[in-house]
Amino acid sequence: MNPANANQTRHSDLRWLRWSLSAIALLLAVIAVQLSALIGPVIPRAAAQSPPDSGAQLFKLIEAQTRTNQILQQILDHLRSGEIKVAIPTTDKQDRGAPAPAPRGGPAAPRTQRAPAGR
């Protein structure tokens, strides 16, 4: 066996390995750059927001409840007075001038009760 030829064969066998490792390293570098660009600056979310004011929230809740109670009291007083005005709007048939349905010609047929099927 020729030692010069064996060295060239070994070198060509490692060439594909070097190319594939270089390609993998390049792809990993591209992924690392993309991830670092997507993350952006790191700011804690708690620092960006002010803490909630529980006292103000409770005050708003109490105001809303008081207003609801006032409205319900007005409705209750109105219902107790017994004065309710009802306006019936016209229907579409009345607007078009459609004739009213004609009354039936005779008395309605008497209703009969059927016995259950099991008897």
Task: Find the length of the chain.
Answer: 119
> Which two three-digit tokens encode residue 33?
């750059």
99 or 28: which leads in pLDDT: 28
Considering the entire predicted model, what is its pTM? 0.32
What pLDDT score does 46 carry? 61
User: What pLDDT was estimated at residue 112?
Assistant: 65
What average pLDDT does the segment 32-39 reach? 82
CA angle in degrees (0–180, nearest 5) for 93-94-98: 60
pLDDT score at 42: 65
| Mean pLDDT, residues 84-97 taken together | 71
Mean pLDDT, range 39-68, rounded to an integer = 81
Residue 13: per-residue pLDDT: 72
